[in-house]
Amino acid sequence: MRLGWLAAPREMIPAFQGFLFGGGVSPFMSRVATSFMRDHMTTHIQRLIDVYREKRDAMLRGLDEVLAGTGAVVSRPEGGFFLWMKLPAGTDQRRLADLAVDARVQYTPGPVFFPNGGGDEFIRLAFSFEPPEKCYEGARLIARAIRAAGPR
């Protein structure tokens, strides 16, 4: 079951009302969700914070172990599901893309997030899906690819 909501200025709400799909949540499911949120939501959110923090920390540890001293700058977010990295100066993005494919790891190139151009020195890494062990190993794999794509 999925529940969603939208926060918007009052005058914009009518424009979004046409996006309602499925006719709404059944009364029974609405009561189940309400009961869960009232009685367990705080505990559930704290558990999720702990789960994602462990994944984030595993990825950061893997990156730090391999990229120390390279000039790479990695964000250390307090929330969310992604790390933002500024690559070491001189990193060849095309070579990095090829090496990442060979290593079977994925990332999102920075230019995707710069609609007006730029961002070549950045990449975004996701840690939400995989367990901590895979976040750690994946981070080490992409970090090795970054080192190999660096200046020669």
| Domain locations along the chain | 69-152
pTM for this predicted structure: 0.78
Kindly indicate the confidence band of residue 3, based on its pLDDT and cuts at 50, 70 and 90.
Answer: low
Distance CA 69, CA 143 (A): 12
pLDDT of residue 34: 87
pLDDT over threshold 90, residue 26? no
pLDDT of residue 45: 92
CATH code of domain 69-152: 3.90.1150.10
Determine the average pLDDT of the residues in 54-83. Answer: 96
Distance CA 107, CA 52 (A): 18
pLDDT of residue 145: 97
